[in-house]
A and B are shown apart, each in its own frame.
Chain A
Amino acid sequence: MIELCGVGKVFPGGQGGFTALDNVELRLPAGEFIAIVGKSGSGKSTLINLIAGIDRPSRGEIRVAGTPVDALDESALALWRGRTVGVVFQFFQLLPTLSVVENVMLPMDFCGTLRPRAARARALELLGQVGIADQADKLPSSLSGGQQQRAAVARALANDPALIVADEPTGNLDTHTAMAVLNLLTDLTAIGKTVVMVTHERDLTSFADRIVTLADGKVVGESAPRASVRNARETADA
């Protein structure tokens, strides 16, 4: 469950600063695939950064699975982020001097979740899940964009976080590869993860459980196109 109460973000500059987010109220249920859409400059990245604990709000409260994210100090925030949030960036952001498997191991090292030998085993397993186990010992620069983004997804999953946050993860990929990565992310909800993704993809309704639309720093729309489908499926399963 992600809750935002009266969240605002003002960037310094100009007279009185620039208001990127204004009084955002959101309640996003856990285990869903949430897409955030809106025009360029509408505040999507700002919002997702606040949810991931990468940035702090100027006003308001943010709770993720009961944790008051805005109230944590820097060090507690970092540890919380490492353990409960997996971040996927548009430009992959793999560390260039570490091999693919080592990039995946890095969060486990920083958060002290597993010792190196076990961490390597888990990283290889995750790389298998995203389908690039054979690239494990290569450097990121020798991988294609799609492969790099799969590695980034594997890294986001390293500490088995409940929340995956992705800012335009497909923005730098061709349509075919983008679809593959999207599928990878949607599959995560099946294993109980919450996924929040900023995207410009058009055909969202096929995979997003919920769509949040931003304009000029305000939430202007929230819809749950597949809620009925899912509800129906769950009823059928039962």
Chain B
Amino acid sequence: MVNAIVGTRWLKLFRDLEAEWGRVLLMVAAIAVSIVAVGAILGAHAVLTRAITANYLDTHPAAATLDLEGDAGAAALVLARQHPAVADAEARDVILARAQVGADWRPLLLFVCDDFVAMRLNTIERLDGAWPPATGDMLIDVTATAMLGTEIGRRLRIKTAQGMAHEVPVTGRVNDHGLVPAWQERIGYGYISRETLASLGEPPVLHELRIALRDPSADAAAVAAVANDVGRQLAAHGIVVHEIRVPPPRQHPHYKQMTTMLYLMLTFSVMALVLSSLLVANSLSAMLARQAREIGVMKTVGARTGQIIRLYATLVAVLGAVAVVVAIPAGLMGARALTNAVAGLLNLNVADNWVPLRVFAVQGCCGVLVPLCVALVPILRASRTSVRATLDQHGIGSEGLRLRTGHFPLAVRNALRRPGRLALTVALLSAGGAMFMTALNVAESWDRNIAKIYETRHYDVEVRFYQPQSVDLARSLRELPGIAVVETWGYSPVAVAKQGQIDVVRAYPDRGHASVVIMAPPTAMRLVSFPVLAGRWLRDDDTDAVVLNHAMAAQMPEIRVGDTIDLSIAGRRAAWRVVGLVEEIGSVGAAYVAADTFERIAGTGGQVRMLRIATLADSPQARVDAIRAIERRLDEDRVSVETVLPLTELSMAMTDHIMILIRLLIAMAVILAAVGTLGLTSALGIDVLERMREFAVMKTIGATPRRIVVLVLAESLFIGMLSWLAAFVFALPLTLLLDTLVGNLGFVAALPFVISPGPALMWLVLIAAGSILASGIPARRASQLSVAQALVQL
């Protein structure tokens, strides 16, 4: 006999669980689901942060790149390697070219080196095909194949600065783990040797001197100091250094994006855990309410309050423990799946899938402690009630807080009879609803921000040239059919200068991440209109004025309107007075200055490096046609084009970057909503169960089954609507928070705060449907119950 081995009270606990296995299962499932999520995300976080760093460090990323005026030849390499802090140095170059894909030209980054086999810095993984590539051939990055529509054995038509198109055979595939996947950036990555570069008609010069330091843990400032030192020694030997690029040390370009995303998901799963704990507390408090009399009896026969608390606390702990046991393997599987998904997204090799033990420890603690803490509230309340009070209690209504509800309809009064339980159910439902609305609101804010790209830019395409072109080119393009406006913009990469030092920028080798540019709009500029955040936009009579966009300002947080900054254009330094800050969505850091001053400093009088063109197009196809016409004219004029960037490409790249996050949020919200509806079903089920006798009495005095169904349904709807209101209110701060977080990730600025009616209405419909569904089973049970049966219960 078990009862001869186990303490009788534990036996009682076990039997109670057995009697309510359905609800117990619901509680365990609710905890388990959230613990699975916590485990999956923590596990993936551990594996991914290790992998992203390992992948990046495996490429032996250069600590700094010195941009030389001439070739980083043997002399420069020897000088660099002689520096005591420098471990290694290599010559490289990165050239922005264009590749033909179908009828259009896409940007292509060409990475050039001397010797693929002896490559020691910023190495690439060899996948298949030729290695090293023969002269005249090209390797492409595996993440760029689909975008370039090419594969091994095919030829790719490419154009470089000198303007002539070349057919280059693609002979192998590589994987560059130091870069963001090409498809995400919408740029192709190709790898060629110096000889191949020459065969494309380009001067065979590698401008970049990349160095690695002996100190593997040097911070950005230390790296910049060493690079500057090397630069001075090169200068002493007549080698001119334009610029030094120092990317964040040892940090993959998308490290921050990835960790922010994972933390966001973790926040959601912790919220889910709190919700499930509320569900447990709710079910438990109902169970305790029904057992009030039994608790009284146990106390009468000698049970101390502490024993009762321990009894039910153990129950919750055991439920949590069971959930944890189930959740750990499932969480591990989830972690694997999430790891693979993110690794695919970021082009990571996950060699080591090992999830650290601390993840399981956290899962265990969360799964047991969080429900326990939440459930302690009803447990303490139930076990502390005096014996007489518990024995006195007949059914409900005799408990603590009483509200004046006399003038409300019956269904509302019923819902309000247990204010504590009502609050829990509403909290459960509204948390799900708040997250649902938040996810959709943030998606809407995101779209709104993407829309700003179009609202603030009135051109259709931006064209940049390798070399400054005569302004006559603009005139010739304006004559093309379908072209409305052609504006000539001054344009140059720029560095924030420090006195007595070579300019340092914080850019990665792909030049895109964390770079800054300077632009000079033409007088009477019409094609952009950025919202001014502080100060003012440029005026025609400005000379040394500069307006910074927010992405640029974010890199120099101490700069205010009225301050002076030093910017250096192609090595020529000048001081500028900051007159304004503007919001420019979808751009790298940019500084805007007056055209005259720019021309004078950059020495580009009568010439132009960037055109912004508005077409007359009224359809996407017409726009594509107009852009192709521009391309043809530039080709006829033998102008070598660096990039042709349609505005649609810009917004597409922005959307691809983060849309995955929004989808994840919505998926989480749907899960939470489901947990909320389960909570409502469970709470209503409990309410009905407790009132069986009451329903029976109502029936004896003439209530029809229909009337009882309507009563339960109305109660459910009332709770649903109440939770909708609460959800709407909760969603406000949550949306604000996520707008800030997601916006900073994607645009370096908070997203516009949007509360759109769509999500609120959608949730209203969902919650109404959920309430009706949730009340279905309890209502049926209440209405079908025979009077005799119900009066026997208890």
Contact = CB atoms under 8 A, between A and B. Distances in A.
Interface string A158-170: 1100000000000
B298 A110 contact: yes
B402 interface: no
Nearest to B2: A116
B19 interface: yes
Given A107-B301, A110-B298, A116-B5, A98 B293 contact: no
Contacts of A213: none
Interface string A98-138: 11011001111111000011011000000000000000000
B301 A79 contact: no
Given A54-B300, A75-B304, A106-B8, A99 B3 contact: yes
Nearest to A101: B3
A98 B11 contact: yes
Contacts of B5: 116-117
B300 A81 contact: yes
B388 interface: yes
B380 to A, nearest CB: 13
Contact of A97 (B6, B12, B303): B12
Contact of A116 (B8, B300, B305, B386): B8
Contact of A54 (B7, B305, B391): B391
Interface size class of A (residues with CB under 8 A): 35 or more
Contacts of A54: 300, 387-388, 391
Contact of A79 (B300, B304, B391): B304
Contacts of B303: 78, 82, 110
A110 B9 contact: yes
Contacts of B298: 95, 106, 110
A74 interface: yes
A42 interface: no
A95 B3 contact: no
Contacts of B4: 116-117, 120
Contacts of A110: 9, 298, 301-304, 307
B399 interface: no
Interface in B293-341: 293-294, 297-307
Nearest to A56: B386
A219 interface: no
B701 interface: no
Majority secondary structure, A binding face: helix
B12 A102 contact: yes
Contacts of B19: 97
Interface in A186-226: none
A235 B302 CA distance: 39
A165 B305 CA distance: 22
Given A55-B387, A95-B12, A97-B19, A111 B7 contact: no
A83 interface: yes
A117 B391 CA distance: 30
A120 B301 contact: no
Nearest to A108: B8
A69 interface: no
Contacts of A158: 301
- Of the four ranges (under 10, 10 to 19, 20 to 34, 35 or more), the interface on chain B belongs to 20 to 34
A78 B9 contact: no
Nearest to A75: B304
Contacts of B7: 109, 116
B11 to A, nearest CB: 6
A74 B15 CA distance: 28
Contacts of A79: 302, 304
A107 B302 contact: yes
B16 interface: yes
B357 interface: no
A106 B300 CA distance: 11
A49 interface: yes
B791 to A, nearest CB: 15
B12 A78 contact: no
A93 B297 CA distance: 7
B1 interface: yes
A81 to B, nearest CB: 6
B8 A119 contact: yes
Interface string B9-46: 10110011011000000000000000000000000000
A83 B305 contact: no
B293 A93 contact: yes
A87 interface: yes
Interface in A61-109: 74-75, 78-79, 81-83, 87, 89, 93, 95-99, 101-102, 105-109
Nearest to B11: A102
Contact of B3 (A81, A97, A105): A105
A75 B306 contact: yes
Interface in A141-161: 155, 158-159
A105 B8 contact: yes
A173 B180 CA distance: 83
A159 to B, nearest CB: 7
Nearest to B18: A97
Given A101-B3, A116-B8, A81 B302 contact: yes
A168 to B, nearest CB: 13
Contacts of A116: 3-8
A87 B3 contact: no
28 contacts: A49-B388, A55-B386, A55-B388, A75-B304, A75-B306, A78-B305, A81-B299, A82-B301, A82-B303, A87-B301, A96-B294, A97-B12, A97-B19, A98-B11, A99-B3, A102-B8, A102-B11, A105-B3, A106-B8, A106-B9, A106-B298, A110-B9, A110-B298, A110-B304, A116-B4, A120-B1, A120-B4, A155-B301
Given A55-B388, A98-B8, 11 more contacts: A54-B300, A75-B306, A81-B299, A81-B301, A81-B302, A82-B301, A95-B298, A109-B8, A117-B5, A120-B1, A155-B301
Interface of A: 49, 52, 54-55, 74-75, 78-79, 81-83, 87, 89, 93, 95-99, 101-102, 105-111, 116-117, 119-120, 155, 158-159
Query: 7 closest pairs, A vs B, by CB?
Result: A82-B302, A97-B15, A107-B301, A109-B8, A55-B388, A78-B304, A110-B303
